[in-house]
Amino acid sequence: SINSHTSCFLSNILEEIFLNIPHRQVVRVCRLVCRRWREAADSESLWRQKCRRERFHLHDATKAPADWRIFYFLCKNRRNLLKNPSGEDKLKGWLLFDGSPKHWMVSRITQPHPNEKVQTNFVTSYGVCRKAQFIDLKKEGYSPSFMDEFQPDIKLTDWYTAPWDLGCEYMICVKLLNERKEVLAGFTPDPVNSGPLDEWIHVCTKFKTKCVTHVFRGYGPGVRYICFIHGSRVRRFWAECCGIHLADSCIEIFPAGDLYMNKAYTFSQAGLTLQSRASVQVFETSD
Residue 159 backbone class (left: φ over 0; alpha: ψ -120 to 50; beta: rest): beta
Could you tell me if 275 and 242 lie in one domain?
yes
Q: How far apart are CA 250 and CA 142, in angstroms?
A: 17
Pair 186, 274 in one domain = yes
Look at residues 42, 77, 112 and tell me which one is the last residue of a structural domain: 77
Residue 206 forms part of a structural domain? yes
Residue 88 belongs to some domain of the structure = no
- Of 47, 77, 107, which one is at a domain's C-terminal end? 77
Instruction: Assess whether 267 and 132 both reside in one domain.
Output: yes
- Is the domain of 26 the same as that of 136? no
Confidence at residue 165, expressed as pLDDT on a 0 to 100 scale: 56
Q: Are residues 51 and 172 in the same domain?
A: no
Q: What is the pLDDT of residue 280?
A: 36
Give domain status of residue 257, yes or no.
yes
Task: Encode pLDDT of 224-248 as tens digits.
Answer: 999 999 998 877 655 555 678 899 9
- The alpha helices in the chain, defined as continuous H runs, are 2-18, 23-28, 35-42, 44-53, 68-77, 144-150
The residue range of the domain holding 189 is: 95-285
**16 and 55 share one domain:** yes
pLDDT at 195: 53
Question: What is the model's pLDDT at position 67?
Answer: 82
- The residue ranges of DSSP E strands in the chain, in sequence order, are 95-97, 104-108, 120-124, 127-136, 153-161, 168-177, 183-187, 192-193, 209-216, 225-234, 245-254, 272-277, 280-285
Q: Please enumerate in sequence order all residues whose Cβ is within 8 A of that of 211, keeping only pairs 6 or more positions apart, or say none.
A: 114, 157, 158, 159, 267, 272, 282, 283, 284
Is 191 inside any structural domain? yes
Q: Are residues 106 and 241 in the same domain?
A: yes
Mean of the per-residue pLDDT values for the chain?
78
pLDDT recorded at residue 237: 59
- Angle between helix axes 2-18 and 35-42 (nearest 10 degrees) is 60
**Residues 6 and 120 placed together within one structural domain of the fold:** no
Whether residues 124 and 55 share a domain: the answer is: no
Q: What is the pLDDT of residue 270?
A: 29
Residues (pLDDT < 70) of the chain are 1-7, 59-61, 98-101, 164-167, 194-208, 236-242, 256-287
Q: How many residues does the chain have?
A: 287
What's the domain count of the chain? 2
Q: Are residue 133 and residue 49 in the same domain, yes or no?
A: no
Q: Quick one: 183 and 265 in the same domain?
A: yes
By the 10 Å C-beta count (0-12 exposed, 13-18 middle, 19+ buried), 82 is classed as buried
Q: What is the pTM of this model?
A: 0.76
- Whichever domain contains 187, its CATH number is 2.60.120.260
Note whether 218 and 100 are same-domain residues: yes
Residue that finishes a domain, picked among 77, 103, 135: 77
pLDDT of residue 255: 81
* 69-118 pLDDT per residue, tens: 888 888 888 899 999 999 999 999 999 986 666 778 888 887 778 888 88
**CA-based nearest residue to 144, from 27, 28, 224:** 224
